[in-house]
């Protein structure tokens, strides 16, 4: 079983996001004024690879959903700063065991993310169906239409009401009557 490229990309971005968050800068641009440009034409800020907060937060939830041994392996492997042997020693396991756990974590994360996507799609479909049943297009209030409906006759001296106010008055009358 090999690592999944998309999960590897997500975990590397997640690790970068976590490092930015622990630096206190969040995902905001930073600059280091003590770095001089190679061509000596001024100061240079380090290149920062952009990370999506939404994707990183979703990956964070997925990592926290892993079983404990996989969660620890992913956290130490991607957030640790030493070599692989030192990371394995920190986990108290062999390097090959650490690699096996990372591969298992990739499969678990891929499954968790697919299930989360499927659940979000089902929820979106449920909400859309609910919206269709509650407000059919032909009975939508005129404030959502491009041109207002024909104005309702108003007694002289009374200020015209908005289409929303007319629609609400009509709904109240239907419920009362």
151-172 pLDDT, tens digit per residue, is: 555 555 566 667 777 888 888 8
Give the pair of three-digit tokens for residue 29.
């641009």
Ranges of each domain in the chain = 5-134, 140-146+159-177
Contact 120, 129 (CB under 8 A): no
Give the pair of three-digit tokens for residue 155.
């007694």
Residue 93 has pLDDT above 70, yes or no: yes
Higher pLDDT, 51 or 107: 107
Query: CATH number of 5-134: 1.10.8.60, 3.40.1410.10, 1.10.10.10, 2.30.110.10?
Result: 1.10.10.10
Non-local (6+) Cβ contacts of 10 within 8 A are 55, 59, 109, 113
Give the pair of three-digit tokens for residue 115.
């299930």
Non-local (6+) Cβ contacts of 160 within 8 A are 151, 154
Residue 56 has pLDDT above 60, yes or no: yes
CA-based nearest residue to 51, from 12, 81, 79: 12
Is pTM beyond 0.75? Reply is no
């Amino acid at each position: 079983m090999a690592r999944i490229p998309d999960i590897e990309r997500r975990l590397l971005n997640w690790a970068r996001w976590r490092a930015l968050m622990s630096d206190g800068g969040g995902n905001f641009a930073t600059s280091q004024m003590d770095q001089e440009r190679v061509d000596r034409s001024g100061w240079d800020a380090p290149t920062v690879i952009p990370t999506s907060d939404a994707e990183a937060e979703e990956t964070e939830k997925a990592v926290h959903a892993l079983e404990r041994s996989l969660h620890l392996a992913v956290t130490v492997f991607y957030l640790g700063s030493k070599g692989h042997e030192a990371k394995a020693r920190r986990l108290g396991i062999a390097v090959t065991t650490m690699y096996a756990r990372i591969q298992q974590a990739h499969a678990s994360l891929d499954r968790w993310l697919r299930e989360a996507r499927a659940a979000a799609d089902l929820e979106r479909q449920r909400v859309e169906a609910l919206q269709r049943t509650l407000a059919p297009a032909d009975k939508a209030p005129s404030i959502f239409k491009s041109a207002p409906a024909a104005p309702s006759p108003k007694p002289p001296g009374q200020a015209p009401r908005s289409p929303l106010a007319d629609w609400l008055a009509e709904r109240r009358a239907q419920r009362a009557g």
